[in-house]
Amino acid sequence: MLLAGPVLAQAPLPEGQCLMLPLEPARRAQQSGLVVEAQVLDAQSFWDASHTHLFTKHRLRVFSLLKGQVADTSGLVVITEGGRLGLDQHVLSNTLRLATGQVGVFFLARAPWPGLPLAGGRGWTPYGSEQGFIEYDLAERTASEPFRTYSSIDGAFFREVSRFTGQARRVLQASPAEAAATVPQQRGTLAPTVSNFTPQTLPAGAEAVLTINGDGFGATRGSGFVEFRNADDGGATRVRARERDYVSWTNTRIQVRVPSSANGGQPASNGHPAGSGPIRVTTNDQLSNESAGSVTINYALTNVESTDGNFLQRPNHIALNSTGGITFRFSPNFTANAAAVAAKQRAINTWRCQTGVNWEVGPAFTTNAIADDNQNVVAFDVGTQLPDRVLGRTTSYYRGCLDGAGGVIFWVKEIDMQYDDAAIFQFGPAPPVGTLNQIDFETVAVHELGHAQQLSHLILPGAVMHYAIGRGQNTRTLNPASDVVGGRQVLRMRSFKSFSCSGGNPATPPMLPAPLISFSAQFERGAGVIVSWATRDECFVTNFAIERSQGGDTTSWTRVGTVNTRPPSNTYQFFDGQVPAGLFYYRLRLTRPDGSLDSVTPVVLTTEGANATVSLFPNPIVRGQPVRLQYPAATEGAVVFRFFDSLGRRILTQSLGTTAGLNILSLNVDALPPGFYVLTWQDTQGKTGSLKAVRL
């Protein structure tokens, strides 16, 4: 435990938060060349010269100086790792992400990354990353950082900072903290009353709605807000729900979505997950009250936000390899540690065999580099690549595309993990010894893989995603009601499904549910349909169900067979000899030990061959689903499709190439409004026709 000083909060804080250990104030001050009280003015992300890392440049307005000298008080440049640029995002765990408007004390060292496109040198970066910034809460007139909270922003606070920097505070211009100190805090009998809330347990970042009942909330929200405990620091601070999270607000009831990345109106990628604990309501008059009871957040899904801040979405996993999943590759310095390799493999199997995420370990990688290079690397750092007192971190690389509804679809395009080579790890399989200051590496690996699974921190002791990891702690097993449920939610609702980008084409190949490594279906005249699949290292499956659509869409299904497992790995085939004529879908469903089912993205087949007719599917056309058209062509050529509305107006024209035989074509119908249509076609051989279509 870290003992609090005279200006620190009295509540003890855990020794380790995620993969950080406390950074001593004296060391932080000594290693910082510049310490300033400042406000973040803006944020602009950029690529490094090799186009393999995103960074974010911030300009700071400096209010006072606590160490060193500063020439520019209106635009001091500070660099942080990660960022958002266009449809690319890099998000690093245990790494500081600043938002415009944040105010506090920055402990700055020269940015260590060479070759950044910055005018006037390398710029500055917070020393220790997250532990290099003490953030102010101007409304409460308090401050906080990982492992420490400060009860006031006053002379004693600044004297405590100066005690370590060796330089008295020099005020350069008035700060927001001083302005806040002159505004009386409103407290009293008119504060709102929180009677109860429902449900008592719910997830964060999953669109789950919390209903808060009470009195005195105000007829409208105005500038009122709801706050949750911050799961990243164990509830030492609070986070506000975002603007989009409020469903309704009346004098006696508030409905609000529980966010996994919240910080008021600031970007989601700069925020923190809502955690278990009391909830606080603040009215438009800035009167506050906290609930007597505590809400339980049982899991938190990672959310990412578009660069312009207009879209917030849960990212999905995709198939990054030829076997429908993600291949991790161990670096040379990681491969050299056989015990670490074994622990990491056990951790990967823990998630794979309890959630169905399709992860595997591939050939060793050639370098220790962590970069956006389409390789999922696990490595130890070299020297001081990781921030001081950071034991490890996970980098999630996201890519997005525009969908047909004007939104953005994000997916995980790469995952890298890096651990401190100097940390006192117990690599197992023996448990760690706390008296030897050992940190259990497998516990750490399972936790960081939870971030890779796209889960955020919790305040939930006993869960792998609990925010704190201490010396001697052994948490290698997933919590069934938390970690497993959250991991399954990420996969079943997003990753095992196909999503379409603008143009009607699939955004990405969906992930196959583990232990699958392949799935296909083929029609053979005179035999029927042969459904084939293969597995690797079978676990978390009891049998396979084969289903066929009842028509030319995926709205209803018929089970045509069930095949039992044959572990550890196998290839399977199922013959469906009673195939009706026409176009239809096949899908494979994995039965899990609890009886639930995970489905593979369906494949489309036709039995008609040369006698096939032109068919559109699905019909009615559903927004967000790929739209395909079956078209038999006598020779190679092209066909022009035209959509006419009920008034005979041509709304959409599209020309597509064809090959001899039966073609399955993708149509871009993004510009097609809902309604009834006649679809006509004419190919280069003079063949014409039409059919009716509906766009929902």
Q: Are 394 and 417 in contact (CB under 8 A)?
A: yes
Distance of CA 79 to the CA centre of its chain: 22
Least confident stretch, 375-379, 598-602, 626-630: 626-630
Per-range mean pLDDT, top range of 17-26, 100-109, 267-276: 100-109
pLDDT digits (tens, 9 = 90+) for 656-665: 888 877 788 8
202-216, 323-337, 513-527: the lowest-pLDDT one: 513-527
- For residue 507, is pLDDT > 80? no
pLDDT given at position 177? 76
Length of the chain: 696
Identify the CATH class of 611-695.
mainly beta
Average pLDDT over residues 662-671: 82
Per domain, the residue ranges of the chain are 25-181, 193-300, 326-493, 516-606, 611-695
Res 7: pLDDT: 37
Identical fold for domains 193-300 and 611-695, yes or no, is yes
Which H or E run includes 280? strand 274-282
Q: How confident is the model at residue 503 (pLDDT cuts 50, 70, 90)?
A: low
Instruction: Report the alpha-carbon distance of residue 672 to residue 688 in Å, rounded.
Output: 22
Tell me what the mean pLDDT of segment 359-371 comes to: 97
**Amino acid 189: pLDDT:** 54
Percentage of residues of the chain with pLDDT beyond 90: 66
Instruction: Read off the pLDDT band of 667 (50, 70, 90).
Output: confident
pLDDT value of position 8: 37
Question: What is the pLDDT averaged over residues 661-676?
Answer: 83
pLDDT of residue 14: 47
Residues 560-606 have pLDDT tens digits of: 999 999 988 899 999 999 888 777 889 999 999 999 999 998 888 87
Residue 360 has pLDDT above 80, yes or no: yes
Residue 325, pLDDT > 70, answer yes
Question: What pLDDT does residue 61 have?
Answer: 97
Token couple for 294? 């505590």
Does residue 399 have a pLDDT over 80?
yes
pLDDT at 628: 82
Q: 25-181 is classed in which CATH architecture?
A: Beta Barrel (2.40)
What average pLDDT is seen over the chain?
A: 89
Q: Do residues 478 and 351 make contact, with C-beta atoms less than 8 angstroms apart?
A: yes
Contact 256, 209 (CB under 8 A): yes
Q: Are 384 and 112 in contact, with CB atoms under 8 Å apart?
A: yes
Is 517:571 a contact under the CB 8 Å cutoff?
Answer: no
CATH topology of domain 516-606: Immunoglobulin-like (2.60.40)
Q: How far apart are CA 395 and CA 416, in angstroms?
A: 5
Query: Which overall architecture, per CATH, does domain 193-300 show?
Result: Sandwich (2.60)
Share of the chain above pLDDT 70, in %: 92
* Angle between the N-to-C axes of helices 441-452 and 338-355, in degrees from 0 to 180, rounded to the nearest 10: 50
DSSP reduced 3-state for 614: coil
pLDDT for res 184: 60
CATH 3.40.50.970 fits 326-493, yes or no: no
Distances (CA, A) of 557 to 201, 530, 553, 561, 694: 34, 17, 9, 12, 22
- What angle is formed at CA 480 by the lines to CA 477 and CA 484, rounded to 5 degrees? 85
CA distance 652 to 679: 9
Provide the token pair at 237.
Answer: 């601070």
pLDDT tens digits along 457-492 = 999 999 999 999 888 999 999 999 999 999 999 999
| Residue 497 confidence (pLDDT) | 85
Under the banding of pLDDT at 50, 70 and 90, the label for residue 3 is very low
Enumerate the β-bridge partners of residue 641. Answer: 654, 681
SS3 at position 615: strand
Neighbours of 554 (CB within 10 A): 20
Is residue 277 pLDDT above 50, yes or no?
Answer: yes
- Residue 274 above 90 pLDDT? yes
Asked if residue 232 has pLDDT above 50, the reply is yes
List the one residue out of 385, 375, 369 whose CA is nearest residue 332.
Answer: 369
